[in-house]
Amino acid sequence: MKNKVIICLLLFTLQQIYSQKTNFDFSLINPSITSSNLRAAWFFDESSGYIAGKAGSVLFTRDSGKTWHEYETPKRIWIVSLFFHDVQYGWGAGGFNGQLYLISTSDSGHTWKEHRIPGLENTEIYKIKFLDRNHGWITGGSTKNGFVYYTNDGGITWINRSPPGLTIPYHVIQDIILIDSNTVCICGFKGYLARSNDNGLHWERIQWKSIAPDSMIAAPLEQFQQVNDTVFYCKGKEDILRSDDRGITWNARFFIGAHYSMQLGAFYFHNRDSGFAIGGYGENARRFITLDGGKIWKIFRDTVGDVTELLLFPGNNSNGYMLGRSSEVYRISVLGEKKTQLNKGYTPLSSAFVSFYDKKHGCLSGLKPIGLRTTSDGGKTWQIIDSSKNYEGVLQNDASHFATSNGQVTIDGGRSWIQAPDGYTGLRKMYKTLKNDAVFYILNNEGGTGVRLFVSTDWFTTAQERQFPASGTLFFMNADTGWLAEKTTIYWTTDGARSWNQIGKLEGTFGAGCLYFIDNLYGWAGGVTNDSYRNPIVFNTCDGGKTWNRQDTITYLSDTLFPPELNKKDRPPKQLCARNQKEVWFIDDYTNVFYSQNGGKHWQQIELPQKCGDMFLGSIALAGDSSVCVTGDNGMVLYITPSYKVNVQFNIRRKKFQKKRSLNSCYRFHLRKSNFQKYMN
């Protein structure tokens, strides 16, 4: 039965998509075609390209999908990968139920020739790619093993270039990326990642570490994308890996959709930092975007269908296509250049970070126009140090000493900045002690595998490496006393992290994501429950971390941002702070602020002003004697008074989209003219 192909024009920008609220128009403009469960596409320009999928046929359009020409192939077997040298010569590859399928065309898809490869019986191909007309690769596998094969004669013969150790069951190689004429990287099942500098004669296994909670490191790595000559991405189910050195080292970024039980389905990076992804499947699929290389992801409520692949036209960063399992074909138009000029001087996702070094004095940092600001009245007003540059994750030691998350330090109040000493590169996170007498910071190991812990007591002039028994979240009372939560295990140090002792366990949780102590005895830990609903949970200790009491009585406000099935689910506390044994605060991983007046026995959600929209929160800090500062994306800085009134101190508003009408699942955006406005109290 024929399925309808929906061609959709999506006028959006990655800059604006962070702030718009799922307003769409739908229009069906395309005739029916016979293919279903589309898995592969190859487009030459905005008008001409091929698609293929489950039915084993290949379809061609030369008018941006208004009409399609269907070409039969020798067998009706899945085609999951396409590669074309030009509009005339191309390849298709796939398989089903252990039956390999490799075909080629030399007449623009009118006829196809099947190829058989000795040694690859009872296998399936997952990817085919060519460097030029002669040199190409196929990868795949079976229930018994994976494989990598290479050709240097245009596919006439294929040579086995599989790395050793691929005889493990289900160890399928899912994708390959051709970096240059000699260098390739491959990825596959069980988190497998390897690189070769000699066209597969020798392979180096690349170790990487997932930073996802409850890591699915055994899950497959499925797809590569090359952004430019040096930057590459590789996607898994919960992680997106990034390499900035041509595939030598890879660092993982957590895909936030996994918090919703939405595994990463398809992705595409518009440039080195701006990316678009689909999480989940079917009616539960949602759009996600990132503007910082995958460190922070934003979810949108609208459904988009069951998308299997995202791609933009070769050589064109403005237009592309999305494929769906039910034969949907979405056409995307990314009006990047026009909107970049319109938004000149403002950086989307102006996420801010706030910290205080005493009750009155602290700093606010973020992307411009926030930049770097300080306060001397507990956060009521902020004085500009520099609003012309981006400052991220700045810690302040006193009026003169600042440090940024990218390795810059100043000792003169921000008038001049220098690069911190060697060993500060690869910074992952900084922890300033509550007593303000030291900074502990975590660095990535060389090669991107594992982490190391350092401490500096002289504001990064010198630093000493310390013991780090397990990767997790840290909190330090002073230069000597600190705690480490590694999933459900709590460690304690009294000698500045020279040694650690296991002292406690958290029951009924997947693990702690944040810690906060007010003294050597009283503290809190935040995580999510380990039941099927995985709701937020906070633990309290009164004996320095030896025993913990569960605190998960939370009163929620109504939730309008997320669909009902996602309410309250998988929202772990992101950051805790406490003024004393009674007054405790936390923000979750998304949009909510909570407080307790009885030490955490009961939590109440704070109602944020409507102008806050769907921002995601970044940090929380105690301000003055009785107030709190909270930061989020969209350039939002909130000041919460002792009466729990929320004042919006900064808000960088962006263009909104006007909703026209809705019909099923095909989207057209209509841009409403408006300008950025900056609100400052």
What pLDDT was estimated at residue 198?
95
Rounded Cα–Cα distance for residues 131 and 157 (Å): 16
Report, as an integer, the average pLDDT of 91-101.
Answer: 92
Q: Is residue 54 part of a domain?
A: no
Residue 257 DSSP symbol = G
Q: Is residue 315 part of a domain?
A: no
Report, as an integer, the average pLDDT of 511-524.
Answer: 92
- H or E segment and range at residue 442: strand 439-444
Rounded Cα–Cα distance for residues 549 and 461 (Å): 41
pLDDT range class, residue 408, cuts 50, 70, 90 = confident
Contact 404, 394 (CB under 8 A): yes
CA 167 to mean position of chain CA atoms? 32
Contact 176, 160 (CB under 8 A): no
320-333 tens-digit pLDDT: 565 665 555 655 55
pLDDT top residue among 316 and 629: 629
- The residue segments making up the domain with residue 643 are 349-419+616-653
pLDDT surpasses 50 at 301: yes
Report, as an integer, the average pLDDT of 38-45.
Answer: 82
pLDDT surpasses 50 at 386: yes
Helix (H, G, I), strand (E, B) or coil at 612: helix
What pLDDT was estimated at residue 57?
85
What pLDDT was estimated at residue 643?
87
Residue 668 DSSP symbol = B
444-493 tens-digit pLDDT: 654 444 678 889 898 888 888 898 887 788 999 999 999 999 888 999 99
What pLDDT was estimated at residue 272?
84
Q: What is the mean pLDDT of the chain?
A: 76
Q: Is residue 58 part of a domain?
A: no
What pLDDT was estimated at residue 444?
62
What pLDDT was estimated at residue 566?
44
Report, as an integer, the average pLDDT of 155-166.
Answer: 92
Q: Which of 49-58, 154-163, 418-427, 557-566 comes out lowest in average pLDDT?
A: 557-566
> Averaging pLDDT over each range in 18-22, 30-34, 91-95, 645-649, which range is the top one?
91-95
What pLDDT was estimated at residue 107?
93
Token output for 323: 């494929």
Closest CA to 486 of 455, 467, 451, 510: 510
What pLDDT was estimated at residue 303?
58
% of the chain beyond a pLDDT of 90: 30
What pLDDT was estimated at residue 537?
84
Rounded Cα–Cα distance for residues 489 and 299 (Å): 31
What pLDDT was estimated at residue 274?
81
What pLDDT was estimated at residue 582?
94
pLDDT range class, residue 158, cuts 50, 70, 90 = very high
Q: Is residue 81 part of a domain?
A: no
Rounded Cα–Cα distance for residues 279 and 69 (Å): 31
pLDDT surpasses 50 at 672: no
Rounded Cα–Cα distance for residues 643 and 131 (Å): 65
Question: Residue 316: CB partners within 8 Å, gap ≥ 6?
Answer: 45, 46
Token output for 553: 């009585």
What pLDDT was estimated at residue 32?
47
Rounded Cα–Cα distance for residues 541 and 503 (Å): 12
Closest CA to 208 of 447, 424, 472, 473: 447
What pLDDT was estimated at residue 10?
29
Rounded Cα–Cα distance for residues 216 and 228 (Å): 28
Contact 360, 347 (CB under 8 A): no
Q: Is residue 183 part of a domain?
A: no
Q: Is residue 398 part of a domain?
A: yes
Cα 408 to Cα 98, 271, 356, distances in angstroms: 55, 25, 19
The total number of structural domains in the chain stands at 1
Q: Is residue 628 part of a domain?
A: yes
DSSP symbols for 347-409: -SS--EEEEESSSS-EEEEESTTS-EEEESSTTSS-EEEE-SS---S-EESSSS-EE-TTSEE
Question: Residue 545: CB partners within 8 Å, gap ≥ 6?
Answer: 483, 490, 492, 503, 504, 523
Is 26 exposed, middle or buried (CB count within 10 Å of its CB: 0-12, 13-18, 19+)?
A: middle
Q: Is residue 508 part of a domain?
A: no
Enter the pTM of the model: 0.55
199-229 tens-digit pLDDT: 999 999 998 877 665 444 457 899 999 988 8
